Amino acid sequence: MKRLTIITLALFAINTIQAQIYDPVKWAFAAKKTGKDEAVLFLKATIDNGWSIYSQHIDEGGPVPTSFSFTPSGDFQLVGKVLEPTPNKKFEKTFSMQVLYFSKEVVFQQKIKLKKGQTVVKGAIEFMVCNDQQCLPPDEKTFAITVK
């Protein structure tokens, strides 16, 4: 009986800890061919109300900027840098600086030149998410985007 009680308490503790894990950013990925050998990758973040992620362009000493890494491949070549829409701007006391951020939703875009008709573009996104009370540790999401 004592063993059953300990197991029950342990399971309850694990469920309580898991319930406190925040995941306020959901990522979705897509690609669209814009020509015979060109495509655009779309990397979309949907952000829970009250939370924000940061621009790729954050000064030193601020929050972790959103960054993208692409796994090299002979199937495609990156064209330019990842584009982002115009971010919001505000002074954040936590960092004692102006920061560029996105709330609710943001779509980043990366142009690629295809070296063959179909490929899968793999990579990772590193980002930091904050609300008015806390910042979560930087997170990384991997992706694999099929381009047809």
Please give the model's pTM, rounded to 2 decimal places. Answer: 0.85
pLDDT of 102 above 90: yes
Mean pLDDT of 99-106: 98
pLDDT value of residue 20: 61
Q: Give the burial string for 94-110 (b: 16+ CB within 10 Å, else e).
A: ebeeebbbbeeebebeb
pLDDT, tens only, 7-37: 444 444 444 444 468 899 999 999 999 999 9
pLDDT value of residue 56: 98
Q: 92: burial class by Cβ within 10 Å (0-12, 13-18, 19+)?
A: middle
Asked if residue 101 lies in contact with residue 55, where contact means CB atoms within 8 angstroms, the answer is: yes
**Residue ranges of domains in the chain, CATH in brackets:** 24-147 (2.60.40.1250)
pLDDT, tens only, 55-86: 999 999 999 999 999 999 999 999 999 999 99
pLDDT of 6 above 80: no
Asked if residue 135 lies in contact with residue 63, where contact means CB atoms within 8 angstroms, the answer is: yes
DSSP, res 148:
-
Strand-pair partners of 97 = 92
CB atoms within 10 A of CB 37: 14
Residue with tokens 């342990």: 10
